[in-house]
Structure 1
Amino acid sequence: MPPAPTTPFADGGAKCHRSGALIWVPLRSKWVEATHQPEEVVRQEWVRRLVVDGGFELAQMDQERRTQHGHGSPRADIVVWESAAKKASEAAAIMIVETKATDGPVIESDFRQGNSYAVAGGAGFLIAATATAHAIYQLTPGFPGKATQINEWPKKVDFGSQKRLDRLRHSLRAFDRDEFQKLLSDCHDLLRDHHAMTPDKAFDTISKMLFVKLRIERSGNHGTFTTEFLDKREEVRVAGDEEVHERLFEETKKYYRADDLFGDTDRLEISSATFRAIVGKLERFNLSQTGDDIKGIAFEQFLGRTFRGELGQFFTPRPVVDFMVDALDPEEGELICDPAAGSGGFLIRVFDHVRSKISSDIEQKKNEKFQEISAEYPTDATDEQLAKRDHRIDEAFAELNENLLPTESDGGVADTRVGRLAWDCIYGTDKEPRAARTAKMNMIMHGDGHGGIHWHDGLVNINGIWDDRFNVIVTNPPFGATVSSSQLVGGTTESDVPDDPAYQRRMRNRYGDDWNAGYQAVVSARNTPILDTFEIGKGKKSRQTEVMFVERCLRLLKPGGRLAIVLPNGNLNAASLGWLRRWAEGKAYLRGVVALPPETFKFSKASVSASIVFLDRFTPEAEAAWQKAWDDALDFTKESFDGQRDALVANYQQRIVTADGDETLVDLLTRLGTLGVTRELPAYARAAEAGLVRGAGTTSIGNAKWVGRGTGEAAALKTKYISAVQSHNATIKTLLAELKAALKEVDEAQTAAMWTYVREKFDYPVFMATPKSVGITATGDTGSHVANDLPEILSKWREFREWQANGFPEGGI
């Protein structure tokens, strides 16, 4: 054992004393072996910080303090009293520090021991710290007590002034969304004023800077990205080298290379002074330690307010997004896609929704593990036993927490529950490059779910996006545009896929053999119209884009998959689009329609009246049941409508061959009849429906023909008839046209009867709602102050889905 050091800390207080695997513990005046106690390293670093940075004395501190002996006694890693005398008298502590050896952000529920001690002991502040992050809480006494996160931990000098403590409690609160959003807007204004940047250019520049900041802070080597950091880099810069801010951006491009966020030629294109000014504005907080809900939603709101004028079509109001995703209720392990992702709003909400479920499950497992381990120790456990218990609990929690990490520390894929969600389950495309890149940035700000987002035409397969693959599709496709026959597969970069061997190997390694079918569908269709790759587009000159996305989404779904799509109301009620509704009716269950109020999209260029449509793609069993209902409908209606056709033909038969009763033609045909020769219409022919929409089929009939052979006198009479009928061709043509029209009406009537039959036999309830308000005003304002009927509708929807899952039992919901 090495001798005791002469000072509490090494290098003038710059670091803790270390000797091999040992660390000096000044509050216990002994060396401790830290190999199997990594939490000791974190604890002693905070003892050092409290003394060196906070001005506290070791005499007013203690470590591993308990409120009492025995089972369940809360322990505090570090306790700070107002003075050494207060400590000796066992007065209430002023601050508690609880430490964990794990890396990563602070998870508040993991620090229950420190919080319990602080509440029991009346302490006013709690510092919760991991090896790479910390959070500070102001505590309110009482049960259950309230912990409010603040931005700075109090120093000794602060406790000597009530005014300074009040400033800590009330002024330096943790960053909230509004503060972050305001800072981003301030940076936007600075770029506009200093460099005359347009909104989109300024937004791109801020995004780049945020990723520089995020990369540096994620490393854990530098703390918060500040102007001081820039100044230190400037000090070691060699004359002639790139300026510091451009060098930092180049390093960031390399870090995010696998995400295709930035092009090789991308630069910041701002002055070092402007870069420094923006860093100064943002240096008050650490991006890697700011909650995903804070920085993500603030970034999204800033994005929306910046771009609604220029790129409003890429935004769906947040309350509508929340409702649609919550209504679909994606589960862990399900594959989700938005083939018209815009800025990524739906995919972000999906990521948050599923991650929240994972977090809740992990929290339940923590509680179970806590109870399991605690039950192994007696009520009169010794301090040594309690320390072992707490160590085991911390290790169990740390192991469970690993599943909350979306990426490894180097930015790579993490094989964790949230990692698999982020990298393997969420996919999206958008053909507008800025929208696609923004979606990636937006996803990273929300917690790294960005691996499957691509700049690509959403109607063409790319990477992990192909037919029959997804459990859930949620989207708001572009309105008002068209897909024309001139748009070819492979005709543009965003409608093609790479074909080099390295790409193919990479895709097969990631997705397996199933990937190949989707890839070959693109390769084999190169240079053909995109329309021709779809059932509803084949052979057409153009189709509305939103109509094409209906088929695209249903095809992307696995059988039984769930779709929520925003569609213009014309898709639901326009007579000209009746074919689309019937086509979809034979492919999927219509589960619900929520009509959105007119102001929902007033803020965007795509100002239309629209509804949310919920569809479930047929399973093979449902498809077979629907086909049986259709076949039964044909059988049920055939005899009746064939009888109508027979009667029509019989009725028109004599009229057509006699030109509606011409005496000469009647006489000739009568005489021919006595000789065994007649003039008759052929039997009508029936053909199956050849169009997109199922129908009874079409009936056709040709011109009248001779039946029976006639020679001699019969031949002469036939010649006379042919000569006499010439003057009546117009009449006969008109009558035949009438017959054909009448037969067509019968076909249409049978089709209508068949659809009625199918809908009766294949009947099921459909959820309908017409909210008056959906949380957004005509100017695009959202927030808790804006009326929103969607939460109540969501509750009703969930009741409906449960009723449906139970087979729609009698009595209703």
Structure 2
Amino acid sequence: MAKKISRIADPNTAFPASANELHRDGDRLWVPLRNEWRDVSNKPEEVVRQRFIRILIEEYGYSLEQMDQERRTLHGHRSPRADIVVWESLDEKTASRTPILVIECKADGIEILVGDYYQGESYTRAVGCEFFIATNSRHTATFRLVPGLPGEFVAINEIPKAADWGNAKRLQEIRDSLRAFNRKEFQDLLFKCHSILRDVHKMDPGRAFDTISKVLFIKMYVERTGLHGTFTTDYLDRRDASRMPNDPLVHDGLFELTKQHYRADDLFSETDLLDISKETFRRIVKELERFDLSKTGDDIKGLAFERFLGTTFRGELGQFFTPRPIVDFMVQLIDPRERELICDPAAGSGGFLIRAFEYVRDHIVADIQAQKDEARALIEAEALPEEEEDREIEAAFARFNEQLLPSGDNNQPIDSRVGRLAWQCIYGTDAEPRAARTAKMNMIMHGDGHGGIHHHDGLLDINGIFGGRFDVVLTNPPFGSNVGSDQKVGASAESKVSLDLAYLDRCEIRYGRPWQLSHRLHRQAEIAKTPILDLFEIGKGKNNRPTELIFVERCLNLLKPGGRMGIVLPDGNLNNPSLAWLRRWAEGRARLMAVVSLPPETFRSSDATVKASLVFLRRFTETDSTAWDAAWAQAQAELDNGFDAQRNALHAASAPAILTGGDTEAARLLSELATLGVRRELPPWKLGEPPPYPRAIGRTTQAAPAWTGKAQHGQGAKAAELKRQAQVALTQAQGASAVALAALKAAYRPIDEAHNAALWARVRELFDYPVFVAAPKTVGITSTGETGEGVANDFETTLAAWRAFLSWMENGAKAENAPNFQRPSTA
């Protein structure tokens, strides 16, 4: 029996007087364009549609007479359908001429994915409409259809208003308002807020930035939790009206709530204050209120925030920024993949981690879209009734889209593909608290992934950042500073080893025994006040080492076997003869994948220019290590005897002068003693202990002459007298003997050096592999540090060459097919 629906009186107005409201009665909703009530219990998209119709009327000046909903291009089941269609006038609508706006609505609240809006997209193409709008419960995106076949949808910044259609100049401005303007607008707003703090409270740039960060975190807390609505001055007024006299001021109370919300992220200390006036806070909220951070796309707010940081603070915090073109290139070359763990132990403002997150997320989005296209084709092949087909496709898309959510409700981790990327795969540290906070804010603005970023010394383990764990490490370590032996584990806030019980339990459960071993090692080092240098092979026992050299070892240690790293290094590390040991040390632990030399202007500051290169390495797998050891064994088997023979010949030739000092009487006495069984001999040379690094033979050592043997029976007295006479003669020749001994020791050194050089040369022949080398002339950065569109950039060509090189390697690396690349120096 059909369900009986009671009659509801039709409303007198299309929409209620209350702002943003719709006429509703339980599950039924008034639909003005159809002049009917509809059951929306299973149709949340209808609510989105009616709300947007109200927005078109009240904010954009259109009328119901100009609109239609559920419009098809043709009669019949399979023709494209649009949720809302708008014409320039009633007459245009009546004559079924080309509409001016096509809108498709969905209830799904994730960021707009144009492929999900295929009905409206197809309708737009079919009728030749120029503007297509996709909207859902959280986001709205506007696109312009560029003429052509099939025609490209280009994101633009705004929706034309009804009054714009008689103004050709205004319409052209809208056509040209690419979505990048939206980023620029948000960036300008952030800078304006920064200026307010500077002008009103006389804040220096660093403190102003800290305060802006706090306000943005409050805004995100209010808007992203979904508990309070949009963060506006009206919202502040409502809270202020209900504030009790003893309650804190609204903005101070909101900051305390925000600190609690982000407590697990260690963003703020318990004593952190907002430290601005109520009036200033209100001015900033007013400036920012048109940008709802829960509805603004991650690419918009993320890039805006990043560019605001770069524009405003590059002078004060320049060491925490790696130019975007460098970051983009390194991420694309290293090619991180889904489920790979990614780390930057010197994260700065988070540029590498953010770009790696975006890069992997883009691959996930593309894969999800392919799955949705396949699912849609299978459902359409079933020839279901139209409404059932739509429901099936919507349900399938909703399931797929759940995999694109980065976080659950209340900023909590979620088990989705993007959620796992955000919460389980991104890790970073920075020892500067402002930089660490910036990285977290930057990551949140780009779509989460902030939970693994910490304020901590990047050379020490914390949370999930410990040795042998990561697939990818990308970093630009500090240049020009040193790690000294006075820097001890636990001696500063950023080097302390946490003993918080909740932290210990959480890490032990999540990371298991490898984390336990790491934590125990660091705790013991803290108790023993161990120098941080002593945790590293190339730092142990040293008074200091350049910071970037220690980070080379740190990054390799963080990688699992086969893991890949990209690091920015000063060219001195690559071509300075005094650092040949470093290059040999790294060569015995990782394969050199690529070296890309940068133009001098890439890293330029007010007082210096650092010529740098991008170095890409792959940590040895077990197979690599075995092959490397085998190459050394073979090289030594081939070469050691020859160099030993050289040492033997030198020893034999030098022995007489060392033994006698050139004194003929001493030589005569020693010869006579030898006939009696007593000899003075030069001991055989020996190889000392090999150095701890890099791999090499030990230095040849030579002991001083010594007496050996005993006099024959009955010859003891004679031998004793001859020995006494010989010692007298040797004492007189002692100086000459010492000179000859020193000369022998010195003569061993070039043999040792030649031996080591020959071994390394032979090992490189036996363990030979091609290395990609490039030196692009332009890398998207001007001599004044400017980046962006219009700046010459050869990186795209370099990447194309790298991919050709990889393809050549995968196809057997045949010499006759080798691409044009150079080998780096092997000093």
- CA-to-partner distance for each residue in 1:525-566, whole Å, 9 max, x for gaps? 222111111111111111111110111111111111111111
SS in structure 2 of the partner of residue 567 of structure 1: strand
C-alpha contact 2:139 2:297 (8 A) present in aligned 1 = no
Partner secondary structure for residue 330 of structure 1: coil
Q: Tell me, yes or no, if structure 1 residue 466 matches structure 2 residue 469.
A: no
Q: Which structure 2 residues correspond to residues 586-605 of structure 1 after superposition, within 5 A? A: 586-603=588-605
Paired residue type of 1:128: A
| Post-superposition CA distance 1:2-48 (Å, at most 9, x none) | 21322166754663344443434444454443333332332333345
Alignment partner of 1:203: what SS?
helix
Q: In 2, Cα distance between the equivalents of 1:478 and 1:163?
A: 50
* Counterparts in 2 of 1:171 and 1:672: CA distance versus 1, 3 Å: closer
Q: In structure 2, what is the equivalent of residue 648 of structure 1?
A: 650
Q: Distance in 2 between matches of 1:371 and 1:227?
A: 48
Alignment partner for residue 572 of structure 1, among 564, 571, 574? 574
1:527-676 map, 5 Å: 527-603=529-605, 607-660=609-662, 662-676=663-677
Where does residue 823 of structure 2 map in the other structure? none
Listed as ranges, the matches of 1:349-428 within 5 Å are 349-377=355-383, 385-428=385-428
Alignment partner, residue 810 of structure 1: 815
Write the distance in 1 (CA, Å) between the matches of 2:335 and 2:142: 34
Residues 624-643 of structure 1: per-residue CA shift (max 9 Å, x gap): 11111111111111221111
Rounded Cα–Cα distance in structure 2 between residues aligned with 1:582 and 1:541: 22
Q: Once the 2 structures are TM-superposed, how far is the Cα of residue 79 of structure 1 from its aligned partner?
A: 3.0
1:297-312 correspondence to structure 2 within 5 Å:
297-312=303-318
Measured in 2, the distance between the counterparts of 1:572 and 1:122 equals 58
Give the 3 Å change call, closer, same or farther, for CA 650–596 of structure 1 in structure 2: same
The answer to whether 1:185 aligns with 2:167 is no
Q: Unpaired segments of 5 or more residues in structure 2?
A: 820-827
Over aligned residues, Cα RMSD in angstroms? 2.6
- Rounded Cα–Cα distance in structure 1 between residues aligned with 2:580 and 2:162: 75
Residue deviations 1:147-183 (CA, integer Å, cap 9, x gap): 4545554565666877876776667977433332222
In structure 2, relative to structure 1, the CA distance for the partners of 1:565 and 1:156 (3 Å cut) is closer
Instruction: Out of 199-208 and 170-179, give the one that drifted further.
Output: 170-179
How far apart in 2 are the matches of 1:495 and 1:646?
A: 52
Partner AA of 1:308 in structure 2: R
After superposition, give the CA deviation of every residue in 1:256-301 in whole Å (9 maximum; x if it has no partner).
Answer: 2222222222222222222222233333333333332222122112
Corresponding residue to 1:6 among 10, 28, 31: 10
Decide whether the 8 Å contact of 1:42 with 1:131 is kept in 2: yes
1:498: which partner in 2? 498
Select which of 260, 266, 275 maps to 1:260: 266
Q: Structure 2 vs 1, CA of residues 402 and 639 (structure 1 numbering), >3 Å: closer, same or farther?
A: same
Q: For 1:654 and 1:54, how far apart are their aligned partners in 2?
A: 105
* Alignment correspondent of 2:442: 442
Distance 1:169 1:244, change over 3 A: farther
Give the counterpart of 1:748 among 749, 753, 756: 753
Per-residue Cα deviation, 1:93-130 (whole angstroms, up to 9, x for no partner): 34333111212322222112112223323445433221
Q: Name the aligned partner's letter for residue 666 of structure 2.
A: L
* Native 8 Å contact 1:2 1:19 kept in 2: no
3-state secondary structure, aligned to 1:103: coil
Distance in 2 of aligned mates of 1:371 and 1:605: 61
**Partner SS for 1:735:** helix
Alignment of 1:706-725 (within 5 A): 706-710=707-711, 711-725=716-730
SS of 2:733's partner is helix
1:568/1:91 CA distance change after superposition, 3 Å: closer
- Aligned counterparts, 1:13-412, within 5 A: 15-50=21-56, 58=64, 60-70=66-76, 72-82=78-88, 86-139=92-145, 143-150=149-156, 153=159, 175-220=181-226, 224-377=230-383, 385-412=385-412
SS in 2 for 1:76: strand
The equivalent of 2:822 in structure 1 is: none
> Are the aligned partners of 1:696 and 1:754 in contact in 2 as well (CA < 8 Å)?
no
The answer as to whether partners of 1:658 and 1:666 remain within 8 angstroms in 2 is yes
C-alpha spacing 1:723/1:140, structure 2 compared with 1 (3 Å): closer
Match of 1:523 in 2: 523
Segment of structure 1 superposing worse, 395-404 or 429-438: 395-404
Q: How far, CA to CA, are the matches of 1:512 and 1:70 in structure 2?
A: 61
Distance 1:96 1:716, change over 3 A: same
Same amino acid, percent of matched pairs: 54
Per the TM alignment, residue 329 of structure 1 is displaced from its structure 2 partner at its CA by 0.7
| Secondary structure class of the residue paired with 2:270 | coil
CA distance in 2, matches of 1:165, 1:782: 30
Would the alpha carbon gap of residues 388 and 433 (structure 1) be closer, same or farther in structure 2, given more than 3 Å must change? same
Unaligned segments of structure 1, at least 5 residues? none
SS at match of 2:133: strand
| DSSP-derived class of the 1:289 partner | coil
Q: Could you list the per-position Cα deviations for residues 400-436 of structure 1 after superposition, in whole angstroms to 9, with x for gaps in the alignment?
A: 1121111123211121111111111111111111111
CA distance in 1, matches of 2:172, 2:724: 117
Matched, 1:798 2:803: yes
Which letter maps to 1:295?
Answer: K
* 1:772 correspondence with 2:777: yes
Q: Tell me how many residue pairs correspond in the alignment.
A: 806
Which structure is higher in RCO with an 8 Å CA cutoff and minimum separation 6? Answer: 1
Q: Does the alignment pair 1:732 with 2:733?
A: no
Structure 1 SS opposite 2:408: coil
- Per-residue deviation, residues 429-465 of structure 1 (Å, max 9, x unmatched): 1111111111111111111121111111111110000
Query: Aligned partners of 2:485, 2:37: CA distance in 1, in Å?
Result: 78
Paired position in structure 1 for 2:455 = 455
SS of equivalent to 2:538: coil
